[in-house]
Amino acid sequence: MAYKDLQDFLKLLEKKGELKRIAAPLAPYLEIAEVTDRVSKAVGPALLFEKPKDARFPVLTNMYGSYPRMHLALECDDLDALGRRIDAVLEMEKPEGLIDKLKLLPKLAKMAGIFPKTVSTGRCQDVVLTGDAVDLSILPVLTTWPGDAGPFITLPVVITKDPVTGKRNVGMYRMQVYDKNTTGMHWHRHKGGAHHHALSKKSGERLPVAVALGPDPACTYAATAPLPDDIDEFLFAGFLRQAPVELVRCKTVDLEVPASSQFVLEGYVEPGELRWEGPFGDHTGYYSLADDYPVFHVTALTHRSDAIYPATLVGPPPMEDSYIGKATERLFLPLIKKQLPEVVDMSLPLEGVFHNFCFVSIDKRYPGHTRKIMYAIWGLGQMMFTKFIVVVDANVNVHNTAEVLWRLGNNVDPRRDVVIVDGPLDVLDHAAPLPCYGGKMGIDATKKGPEDGHMRDWPDSLTMSADVKARIDALWGELGL
């Protein structure tokens, strides 16, 4: 059964021992972050700070900070199986005959109940503050690192519509709180929200924006997912939760938000208005550099009467966002394999913070195959930001970083097996000589032969004989080890 709201999800976490309540009056300024950081590094539970210092609302952190909680959030036992379910729906083709049409009926029936629907009222509007009554200081927004420019909203579900087509985009972008009714809007130029902003600048009209804080877990995850432009994020959330996302119309802007959200910020971004934003302690483990970003003006603040403020802490991995990223890796791998069927498996290791490393194993078949894979991955949506791609043979476990590094050290001739190209990089990459643009490296760590220009013999890997392994397996319990 789909969670009706965040509170419903927290009840399950508590029942399963995955939630810890903190009664101590810790401050939203640095103290809650320090506790969360220590618990995140230990892969500890979700944390509900019941009485933050000088705050009206509880604070929730580390909600997604483990594989078991990601499974619970997305209501699945196995992320790979959920990825295959996504692929099965997306691969549906137009049926040719009666039998094919009948075979599609079960899938279509399941799809019928996942489309978002608009309802007349929602708990997110228990309390409605507009005009001069808007005051963002009632939110216990965290300041997470000493060098941060201020408090940042870190788990916002940001909703806009294309000014031309009216198509909705849902994304997640950090928001620095400037004062009682304005924040920054950290729209990266490659993302959907930034595209809508660019279109509004061309027309010279304000862009309406709504920000939902704390809808059900699937909605929050969907805002982070690298979906194609023509797939609605709330439809995707409905697919994940196998129930429609209920939306309610905003009070001051022509947008819809999840009705169960804890808080909703409504407002607009003026075309061309920028303000200095940052620095911010980011998931790279460094402070992202300050720069000019659009300004979000809040015209209404609505919330549930029992609202909980959700936040995520980012910093040196592993952190909560690491598990969100790994979920995305597993859910979208089947789609990548559909385009590149020679791909066996893929890993975006935690240390690479999503965009620095990609380890991929392939069924290598011909000269230049590894380079074909590298170039193809750099052409796949947000995979274009990947700085280092390491390609290994099909038998290598890409989720074992030590094994990948061992193969890389032994199988690579730097002059022959390394490719350097230029292209787009993540805006947070401070090593690049230019913002969002720089060099990338592809490394062929596969076994080489004459077709690769390697004219020497390639040695066999060390492997114990199967009969000896079987004998020792049988004796293992008697060895006292």
The count of domains in the chain is 2
Do residues 194 and 62 share a domain? Answer: yes
Q: What pLDDT is recorded for position 329?
A: 92
SS3 189: coil
Name the pLDDT band for 93 (thresholds 50, 70, 90). Answer: low
- 302 within 8 A of 251, measured Cβ to Cβ: yes
Do residues 238 and 366 share a domain? Answer: no
Name the pLDDT band for 270 (thresholds 50, 70, 90). Answer: very high
- pLDDT above 70 as % of the chain: 95
Token representation of residue 291: 């720069």
Q: Residue 396 is part of a domain; what is its CATH number? A: 3.40.1670.10
Q: What pLDDT is recorded for position 3?
A: 94
Q: What's the domain range around 139?
A: 6-310
Closest listed residue to residue 113, CA positions, set 87, 91, 81, 89: 89
pLDDT in tens, 20-55: 999 999 999 999 999 999 999 999 999 999 999 999
> Is 332 within a domain?
no
Cis preceding-peptide flag for 116 (omega within 30 of 0):
no
Per-residue burial over 434-468, b if 16 or more Cβ lie within 10 Å, else e, is eebeeebebbbbbbbeeebeeeeeeeeeeeeeeee
How far, in Å, CA of 102 to CA of 122, rounded?
Answer: 38
Do residues 294 and 368 share a domain? Answer: no
Q: Residue 54 is part of a domain; what is its CATH number? A: 2.30.110.10
Do residues 282 and 379 share a domain? Answer: no
Do residues 129 and 170 share a domain? Answer: yes
Q: Which helix (H) or strand (E) holds 440?
A: strand 437-444
Order of all β-strands in the sheet with 343-347: 343-347, 357-362, 388-393, 437-444, 418-424
How far, in Å, CA of 75 to CA of 82, rounded?
Answer: 9
Closest listed residue to residue 315, CA positions, set 40, 27, 31, 46: 40
Residue found by looking up tokens 């894979």 in the block: 373
| Amino acid identity for residue 52 in this structure | P
Pick the residue with more confidence: 352 or 179?
179
Mean predicted lDDT score pLDDT of the chain: 92
> Is 345 within a domain?
yes
Distance of CA 55 to the CA centre of its chain: 28
pLDDT in tens, 185-198: 999 877 888 889 99
Q: How wide is the angle at C-alpha 79 spanned by C-alphas 109 and 36, nearest 5°?
A: 125
Q: What pLDDT is recorded for position 194?
A: 86
Token representation of residue 377: 């991955």
How far, in Å, CA of 150 to CA of 144, rounded?
Answer: 9
Q: What is the pLDDT averaged over residues 331-336? A: 90
Q: Which of 259, 289, 310 is the last residue of a domain?
A: 310
Q: What pLDDT is recorded for position 99?
A: 60
- pLDDT above 90 as % of the chain: 79
Token representation of residue 422: 């230029």
pLDDT in tens, 395-419: 999 999 999 999 999 999 999 999 9
Q: What pLDDT is recorded for position 95?
A: 54
Of these ranges, 227-231, 335-339, 410-414, the one predicted with the greatest mean pLDDT is: 410-414
The yes-or-no verdict on residue 155 having pLDDT over 70 is yes
β-pair type (46-49, 19-22): parallel
SS3 314: coil
Which amino acids are annotated catalytic? Answer: 282
Q: What pLDDT is recorded for position 188?
A: 82
Q: What pLDDT is recorded for position 193?
A: 85
Closest listed residue to residue 298, CA positions, set 118, 175, 122: 175
pLDDT in tens, 247-256: 999 999 999 9
Cis preceding-peptide flag for 318 (omega within 30 of 0):
yes
Least confident of 121-135, 229-243, 390-404: 229-243
Do residues 305 and 425 share a domain? Answer: no
